[in-house]
């Protein structure tokens, strides 16, 4: 359980959630992807969910976003029942989600315009700078690299200043180096240190607005629910890792607090003994499920 869960309402709480889908045609049976899923993300907490391919990770994120109503169970957002779209959450999708007919800047602006925010252009420009794309605002998605497109998506999500960030394997399509850069960038932005690092590449200048969180300060951080099938990524980024079983009726089978100190560099932290201990313990729970999930896909 999150350390904050008793002190204040959790940012996100799933209680006994199940999702059952119709079969491929009228004759085939219904498929229960997830069942009995209870999951909490405390305010300011970074929680990863790992599980085999096809087990129901994206399904759970869709439930948390309010895009999919669960067949059973309920969802609470900061203590209030979620009934429609989760307006406290920003969502970074698994697939490419930029509008190809809009420039990078226009993509980042889109949500702000929709909300009628008056200085949408300036805010979007500021966020593009924060993700290192200040000079690329007039480029269309097809004129950007895969990593750049992910940065635009990140700015598009964060510009709306959501209290909860939902991320569905956001970097799985990237090469390993770009991926690690992006993972560090997300951790920086999450910890509120992104501005500082960029303003002072050597890390020596004072952060803008005097803002640099102590490693344990959660008060100004967003709650993050991060979906991945990459256990290394989950451990390197998170406060807590939740493991899901293979489907059908996938459900949590283990939960691990990640006690690696912050701030973290995702590449460096992987070389530590504690990381390896955690990896061994979690993989012990996950291994059978990953093999099961893989066999199921081959048989389908």
- Kindly indicate which of the ranges 50-58, 98-106, 143-151, 189-197 contains the residues binding ligand ATP, using the contact rule CB under 6 A: 50-58
Please select the residue that binds ligand ATP; options are 3, 8, 16, 21, rule is CB under 6 A.
21
In this complex, which beta carbon is closest to ligand ATP, that of residue 207 or of residue 248?
248
- Rule CB under 6 A: is residue 56 a binding residue for ligand ATP? yes
- Rule CB under 6 A: is residue 59 a binding residue for ligand ATP? yes
Please select the residue that binds ligand ATP; options are 58, 71, 97, 178, rule is CB under 6 A.
58
- Kindly indicate which of the ranges 38-46, 47-55, 175-183, 187-195 contains the residues binding ligand ATP, using the contact rule CB under 6 A: 47-55
3 state SS for the chain? CCCCCCCCCCCEEEEEEEEEECCCCCCCCCEEEEEEEEEEECCCCEEEEECCCCCCHHHHHHHHHCCCCCCEEEEEECCEECCCCCCCEEEECCCCCCCCCCCHHHHHHHHHHHCCCCCHHHHHHHHHHHCCCHHHCCCCHHHCCHHHHHHHHHHHHHCCCCCEEEEECCCCCCCHHHHHHHHHHHHHHHHCCHHHHHHCCCCCCCCHHHCCCCCCCCCCCCEEEEEECCHHHHHHHCCEEEEECCCCCECEEEEEECCCCCCCCHHHHCCCHHHHHHHHHHHHHHHHHHHHHHHHHHHC
| Footprint on residues 193-222 left by ligand ATP (CB under 6 A) | none
Q: At its nearest, how many Å lie between Mg ion and the CB of residue 66?
A: 17
Interaction site with Mg ion (CB under 5 A) = 57-58
Q: At its nearest, how many Å lie between ligand ATP and the CB of residue 245?
A: 11
Question: From edge to edge, which strands make up the β-sheet containing 31-41?
Answer: 31-41, 12-21, 72-77, 80-81
The total number of residues written for the chain in this structure? 300
Please select the residue that binds ligand ATP; options are 38, 53, 83, 177, rule is CB under 6 A.
53
Q: At its nearest, how many Å lie between Mg ion and the CB of residue 229?
A: 8
- Rule CB under 6 A: is residue 141 a binding residue for ligand ATP? no
Q: At its nearest, how many Å lie between Mg ion and the CB of residue 253?
A: 18
Q: At its nearest, how many Å lie between ligand ATP and the CB of residue 164?
A: 19
* Interface characters, 218-257, with ligand ATP (x: CB under 6 A): -----------x-----------------x----------
Q: Which residues bind ligand ATP (CB under 6 A)?
A: 21, 31, 33, 51, 53-59, 94, 229, 247
């Amino acid at each position: 359980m999150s350390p904050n869960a008793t002190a204040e309402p959790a940012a996100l709480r799933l209680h006994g959630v199940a999702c059952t889908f119709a079969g491929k045609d009228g004759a085939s049976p219904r498929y229960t992807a997830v069942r009995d899923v209870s999951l909490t993300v405390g305010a300011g907490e970074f929680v990863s969910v790992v599980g085999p391919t096809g087990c129901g990770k994206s399904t759970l994120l869709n439930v948390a976003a309010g895009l999919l109503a669960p067949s059973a169970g309920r969802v609470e957002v900061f203590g209030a029942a979620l009934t429609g779209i989760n307006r406290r959450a920003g969502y970074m999708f698994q697939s490419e989600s930029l509008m190809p007919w809009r420039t990078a800047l226009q993509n980042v602006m889109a949500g702000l315009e929709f909300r009628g925010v008056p200085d949408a252009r300036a805010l979007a420009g500021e966020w593009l700078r924060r993700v290192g794309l200040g000079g690329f605002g007039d480029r269309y998605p097809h004129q950007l690299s895969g990593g750049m497109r992910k940065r635009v998506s990140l700015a598009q999500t964060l510009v709306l200043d959501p209290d909860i960030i939902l991320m569905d394997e956001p970097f799985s399509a990237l090469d390993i180096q770009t991926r690690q850069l992006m993972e560090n960038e997300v951790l920086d932005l999450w910890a509120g240190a992104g501005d500082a690092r960029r303003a002072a590449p050597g890390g020596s200048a004072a952060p803008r607005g005097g803002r640099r969180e102590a490693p344990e300060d959660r008060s100004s951080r967003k709650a993050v629910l991060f979906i991945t099938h990459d256990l290394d990524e989950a451990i390197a980024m998170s406060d807590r890792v939740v493991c899901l079983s293979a489907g059908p009726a996938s459900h949590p089978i283990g939960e691990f607090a990640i006690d690696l100190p912050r701030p973290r560099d995702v590449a460096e932290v992987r070389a530590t003994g504690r990381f390896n201990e955690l990896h061994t313990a979690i993989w012990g729970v996950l291994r059978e499920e990953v093999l099961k999930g893989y066999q199921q896909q081959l048989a389908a």
